[in-house]
Amino acid sequence: MTDPLVKVNYNDGTIIELTTNIDPGNIDEIIWNTPLYFPCDNCLTILIDSITENQTYLITLIDENGCSDTTLLRLLVDREIDIYIPNVISVDDNSNNGVFFPQTGYDDVEVLDLYIYDRWGELIYHGQNFFSNQPEFGWDGTFNNRNVVTGVYVYYLRFNVPGFGEIKRTGDVTVIR
C-alpha cells in the first residue's frame, strides 16, 4: 500500500476505502490504529464523520500467511476561513455599527487577543479569550469609560481557528460620531 494524503473540508465526513493487491478473501486481519474508535476493525471501508482537525491513521493488513503491509493515512483538513473586521464604527447613532468586533461564519473561532491603540501608540483596549461574533466582548469606542475622539485607531487581532491554527490580523478602524 502507498501512504496516501487525503484533503477534506472542515466538518465534512469522508469514506476511506483501502485498496490492496491482496485478495480480500486472503486478508486475515486489518488493524486500524486511529485517534477514533471504529466499530469495525476488519473493514476495508470506513466512514469518518465531521472531521475538524488533521488526523493520522496507521493501518496494517495481515494476510492468511502472516505477511503484513502497513500504510500511514493522513487526513488534512482544508478550512477556508473568512474573518470580517470592521473598518469603521459609529458610536453615537444607535446603529448596529457601534462596536468593533471580529465576525466569522463559524462560532468556534477564538479571539486570543484584541488590542486597540490610539495614534500615539497608547493601548486603549485589550480583550482576550472570547469567541468571534460576540459584540459584547468587542471595543465600544471608549477609553477609561469616556468616548474616544473621532479618528483612526490601530488594531491587532490574534485568533485560534480549529483545524487551521493561529491567525494574526492588523489594521485600522475609524471612529465616527
The domain limits of the chain are 5-78, 83-176
Is it true that 5-78 and 83-176 share their CATH fold?
yes
**Alpha-carbon 88 to chain mean position:** 26
Q: CATH 2.60.40.1220: does it fit domain 83-176?
A: yes
Average pLDDT rounded to a whole number, residues 98-108: 89
- Mean confidence (pLDDT) of the chain: 86
Which strands sit side by side in the sheet containing 123-131, from one edge to the other? 88-90, 165-176, 151-161, 110-117, 123-131
Type of residue found at 28: D
DSSP secondary structure string for all residues of 123-150: EEEEEEEEETT-GGGSB-SEETTEEPPS
d(CA 28, CA 99): 62
Instruction: Average the pLDDT over each of 45-54, 113-122, 132-141, 150-159 and give the range with the smallest value.
Output: 45-54
**Range 3-25 burial, b when 16+ CB lie within 10 A, else e:** eeeeebebeeeeebebebebeee
Domain 5-78 -> CATH class: mainly beta
d(CA 16, CA 19): 10
pLDDT at 55: 82
Q: In the predicted model, is pLDDT for residue 41 greater than 90?
A: no
pLDDT at 141: 93
Provide, rounded to the nearest whole percent, the portion of the chain with pLDDT above 90: 42
97, 141, 173 from 94: Cα distances, Å: 8, 13, 18
Between these two residues, 40 and 162, which has the higher pLDDT value?
Answer: 162
Q: In the predicted model, is pLDDT for residue 122 greater than 80?
A: yes
Residue 93, classed as helix, strand or coil, is: coil
Average pLDDT rounded to a whole number, residues 117-134: 96
d(CA 45, CA 43): 5
